[in-house]
Structure 1
Amino acid sequence: MIKHANEHKLKWFARLGYGARGLIYTVIGGLAVMSAIGVGGGTVDSKGAIQKAMQQPLGQTLLVILLIGLLGYVSWRLIQAVKDTDHHGTSIKGVAVRSGLFVSSITHAALAFYTVTLLLPTGSSSGSGSDSAQGFVASTPGQIVLGLVGIAVIGAGLAHIAKGYKSGFMKYMSIPAKQKSWASPLCQFGLMARGVVWLMIGWFLIQSSLKARAGDIAGMGEALNTLARSPYGNWLLGIVALGLFAFGVYSFLEAAWRRIDA
């Protein structure tokens, strides 16, 4: 009975986590869409999306909910990686996928920590940790790690594109038959758009590694800015932004319909 109750709680914790990811990406995509069509908005990364959430009415309450969701997502990703709940196995591909899930737990744990710093009184956080990280990235070992991370991010981007193109997500979802006609293509579009952005971020990381300049490290916001500055920039930014918004909706659909084997 206790085990069943804990599994039930974990499932809802995981669903709240998918919802938190959905909120972050709908904010990123929505702001970028507004920027592309010239009605305000802007290009932000995940941290920028969390900052925007804090600026809304009842922002601190929203951040507390977001923090709980991020912690749920971190826990679920760790369980997916360690317990292999999705049965990826121990083949090279399976280990790669599970490693990606583990890295996802780390990156979202960093977002959760960042959310905590926003909830703390101003000035309570120290910049020494950030300075130390910049110092490591500027070193030779740091540049090697940065390049390897860039390659891994490109691999993750390609995996997202393939997962979207082949509808690989469907085997983990229980989408009602009446909803598949719109939900499936929306999920495909969202996954492929996120994959394109990750390809760009991975390339930025590799370039930073080759140039040995820690200050060149760029994330999602810079990737979207790069699209905006390219030929037909507003069109490209608009398409990718819509895709990121669709990925946010996909995350909400996962919160509702993903099969979670706790």
Structure 2
Amino acid sequence: MATSSITSALPHSPSSGIKALARFGFAAKGVVYLVLGTLAVMAATGVQGGKTADKKQVLQTIQDLPFGRFLLGLVAFGLLGYVIWRLVQAFRDTEDKGSDAKGLARRLGYAGSGLLYAGLAFAAGRTAFSGGAANQGGGSTQQSMTAKLLAQPYGQWLVGAIALGIIGAGLYQIYRAYSGNFAKHVNSSSLPADQQKIVFRTGQIGYTARGIVMAIIGYFVLQAALHSNSGKVQGTEGAFDLLAGMGPVVLAIVALGLMAYGVYMLVQAKYPVLRGV
């Protein structure tokens, strides 16, 4: 079954404009993850200029390229498109998840994903137009927000719940990679048949690596909750550093996986795999 026929069967299918924004969003995510993984691979292999980085530091790397501010502006536009599409998914239910508890949880997840990338889109846009530093205050922002939550009544429980949610989301990425549902979406896409298996394997590797990194970040947040110490919170850079402590080969494998996820996002931009796009 082709993607177009699946999409037409959905009662709240997004407009062509929203679909275009979604595809720009996939492309922008692909660029971010490709750069993120490349920097980590370079760090693992000792190549000069390689470093473990978070997503906002990736924006700085893009900015430093020739025509970097223009490229960063395109990334910002793409990420904004991704945010809009995720919010449309959540509120118009373009994936037809329904309004039961499970469906609402999935739609809430779409909204959360959109809001998460809204911060990155804002940082990219601000940097592209102002020429300032893209990574200013990235890690400290996460820690300061955690500190405010910890200061609230039952703050440790709240941060702990968030940590478990992040860990759960990471494990779900791994589950998604090997579930039959993911294979079904790839096989029903407009990809040529001889390329579907390659894309499927690339997506599996990418989702697995992304799930590992997310689970590690959730572990850091859980440590912050258990010790009531916001300084324990680390982002992608901290996850890479932990992996590097296990050996450069471990870091390189996960970093290559994130590059695979970036490639899969670029494929998504050209041959939409998800329903509703």
Does the TM-score normalized on the shorter chain lie above 0.5?
yes
- Equivalent in 247, 250, 269 of residue 236 of structure 1: 250
Are 2:260 and 1:250 aligned? no
Deviations 1:8-35 (A, max 9, x none): 2221111000111111100111111111
Opposite residue 89 of structure 1, the aligned amino acid is G
Name the aligned partner's letter for residue 53 of structure 1: I
Partner Cα distance (1:91, 1:148) in 2: 22
**Conserved in 2, the CA contact under 8 Å of 1:137 and 1:214?**
no
User: Contact between 2:177 and 2:207, CA under 8 Å: does it hold in 1?
Assistant: yes
Taking the aligned partners of 1:250 and 1:111, their CA distance within structure 2 comes to: 20
Instruction: Tell me if the contact between 1:167 and 1:188 (Cα under 8 Å) persists in the aligned partners.
Output: no
Do the aligned partners of residues 42 and 122 (structure 1) sit closer, same or farther apart at CA in structure 2, a change above 3 Å counting?
closer
Inter-CA distance 121–223: structure 2 relative to 1 (3 Å threshold): closer
Give the structure 2 partner of residue 3 of structure 1: none
Residue from 17, 31, 44 that aligns with 1:23: 31
Query: Is the Cα–Cα contact under 8 Å of residues 100 and 156 in structure 1 kept in the other structure?
Result: no
Q: Tell me how far apart the structure 2 counterparts of residues 167 and 36 of structure 1 sit (CA, whole Å).
A: 33
Secondary structure in structure 2 of the residue aligned to 1:147: helix
Equivalent residue for 2:168, pick from 155, 160, 166: 155
Q: Does 1:223 align with 2:231?
A: no
- What is the aligned partner in structure 1 of residue 124 from structure 2? 115
SS at match of 2:265: helix
Query: 5 Å matches for 1:184-223?
Result: 184-223=200-239
Q: In structure 1, what is the Cα distance between the partners aligned to 2:183 and 2:40?
A: 28
- 1:158-191 CA deviation, whole Å, 9 max, x = no partner? 1110110125334444132021131111111101
Partner of residue 178, structure 2 = 165
In the alignment, which of 17, 35, 47 is matched to residue 9 of structure 1?
17
The residue aligned with 2:276 is: 261
Moved more, 113-122 or 151-160: 113-122
The two structures, once aligned, show a CA RMSD in angstroms of: 2.3
Residue of 59, 62, 80 corresponding to 2:89: 80
Alpha-carbon distance between aligned partners in 2 of 1:65 and 1:260, rounded to the nearest angstrom: 25
What are the Cα deviations for residues 97-122 of structure 1, in whole angstroms up to 9, with x where unaligned?
22211110111001112123323265
Cα deviation, residue 154, structure 1: 1.0
Number of aligned residues: 252
- 2:41 aligns with 33
Q: CA deviation at 1:89?
A: 2.4
List alignment gaps of at least 5 residues for structure 2: 1-13
1:145 Cα deviation (Å)?
Answer: 3.1
Residues 222 and 47 of structure 1: CA distance in aligned 2, closer, same or farther (over 3 Å):
same
Whether contact under 8 Å (2:147, 2:229) holds in the other structure is no
Whether the 8 Å contact between 1:193 and 1:240 is mirrored in structure 2 is: yes
Percentage of identical aligned residues: 38
CA drift of 1:134 comes to: 5.9
Q: Structure 1 stretches of 5 or more lacking a match?
A: 1-5
CA distance in 2, matches of 1:224, 1:261: 34
Give 1:138 deviation, angstroms.
Answer: 4.3
Superposed, 1:42-121 pairs within 5 Å as 42-118=51-127, 119-120=129-130
